[in-house]
Amino acid sequence: MSRRFAPGPWRKVRDFVKNAYQRRRYPERFIQKGSTPYQEIYRDGIMAVRYYQPLAVDHLYVEGETLVVRQQRYTRPLVLVPPLGVFAWIFDLMIERSLVRYLLAHGYEVYLIDWGNPKDPPYQGLTLEDYVVRWFPAAMRTIRAHSGQQQLNLMGYCMGGLLALLYLGCGDDRDVTALVTIASPLDARRMGVAGHLSQALAGPSAWIRAHTRFRLDQIDAERFHVPGKWVSRAFKMTSPWSPLTSYLSMVRNLADREYIVRYMSMNAWFDNMADYPGGTVQEMLQKLGLANQLARGSLRVGQREVDFKRIDCDLLAFAGSSDAIVPMAAAYRIMDLVASRDKRFHLVPGGHAGVFAGASAVHTTWAISAEWLTERSGGLRPEASA
């Protein structure tokens, strides 16, 4: 039956059947990710730095809102820092829900640090030192050379925010003007089930350290390596009913192609996660979990002493009101640890993914961040962007 003559109810039936078939047969047609053009300006093994080119459109449609794309760029670049265990394209998830495109439309010069996927040797044993002391400074040097700007701003999601804090806590970089953290945990004891577990194990682990020669770091780091499929399963277990309810909602909306695109694209994030390197997992268990050193604001990363009191740049921190992984209390701890005079905290709607990339995040986390960064991005350049 042609579209022209198909009555409303039959059209929905037709679209339902068509989308159900194509979703199974050609899932790639429904998945949007990483569509914004970028230039890779640096690479060291699996780690790379991306520069996102200005948008070649005048308007951008984002979750029911039409944005006029700003033709002038802000002077101070913005560096996006993804967490480990995911792929960097979550910052550029969907055409109509891409944080990268949203920031470009607002006139920001956008760079991104891509940590890659440590699924193969020799990357399975990567440590916090590799990320914080080796790769982070290299990325910042590259971005400064490429942009011609010394002062930069940072935005990190989840552990991306932690990596940014650890980097700044080393005290070597005094030219970061502002930092945005989204659902970044600073207090392991306040992290729901994981927090209760770490608290329960803290006592026994302290007794073992005091009465035996056994140390967690004596175990081969690669034994702690976590495959991406396990990371995905652990993520889904934090909200066990969510996959079922979202699937049932998808079935009810199978006639709506745009809805299926959103569902499939978000599931591409949850179903395909990157590996977690064993060396980093080992350190996180030992320092961040059992010892809860982040909550005290100081720890050792490799040969470097990290102290969050060295951080005095402006800070904007977010937590999701229904985040089961990083509850508000775990994220709010940052407000007590940094020396920043200008520091703000927002509790916004959403779970751990929703606070960052959900439909409401566009009007909360993204909008608040874009407005806040406006005053901290060095003003607009007088010339139009090329």
Start-to-end CA span in the chain (Å): 48
C-beta of residue 47 within 8 angstroms of C-beta of residue 135: yes
pLDDT at residue 385, as a whole number = 43
Q: Which of 230, 277, 273, 228 is nearest to 127 (CA)?
A: 277
Domain annotation covers residue 380: yes
Range from 31-40, 358-367, 370-379 carrying the lowest mean pLDDT: 31-40
> Could you list the residue range(s) of the whole structural domain that residue 195 is in?
34-226+275-384
Beta strands at 314-320 and 343-348: parallel, antiparallel or unpaired: parallel
Banded pLDDT at 218 (limits 50, 70, 90): low
Banded pLDDT at 201 (limits 50, 70, 90): very low
Beta strands at 152-157 and 47-52: parallel, antiparallel or unpaired: unpaired
Query: What percent of the chain lies above the pLDDT cut of 70?
Result: 88
| Burial of residue 253 (number of CB atoms within 10 Å: 0-12, 13-18, 19+) | middle
- The pTM score is 0.88
Domain annotation covers residue 10: no
pLDDT at residue 80, as a whole number = 98
Residue with tokens 């600073």: 186
Domain annotation covers residue 201: yes
pLDDT at residue 33, as a whole number = 78
Domain annotation covers residue 78: yes
Highest-pLDDT range among 139-148, 208-217, 238-247, 270-279: 139-148
Taking only the tens place, the pLDDT of each residue in 224-261 is: 889 989 888 887 777 776 777 777 877 787 777 887 88
| CATH number, residue 79 | 3.40.50.1820
Mean pLDDT of 204-213: 52
Phi, psi of 49 (to 5 degrees): -120, 130
Q: Which of 154, 182, 165 is nearest to 320 (CA)?
A: 182
Domain annotation covers residue 26: no
Domain annotation covers residue 299: yes
Q: Which of 22, 77, 85, 24 is nearest to 51 (CA)?
A: 77
Tell me which DSSP letter residue 56 carries: S
Whole-angstrom distance, CA of residue 369 vs CA of residue 14: 42
Domain annotation covers residue 99: yes
pLDDT at residue 2, as a whole number = 47
Chain mean pLDDT for the chain: 86
Domain annotation covers residue 28: no
Taking only the tens place, the pLDDT of each residue in 286-314 is: 887 767 889 999 999 999 999 999 999 99
Give the number of domains in the chain: 1
User: Could you give the angle at which helices 8-25 and 257-271 cross, rounded to 10 degrees?
Assistant: 20
C-beta of residue 176 within 8 angstroms of C-beta of residue 102: no
Token pair listed for 3? 């579209």
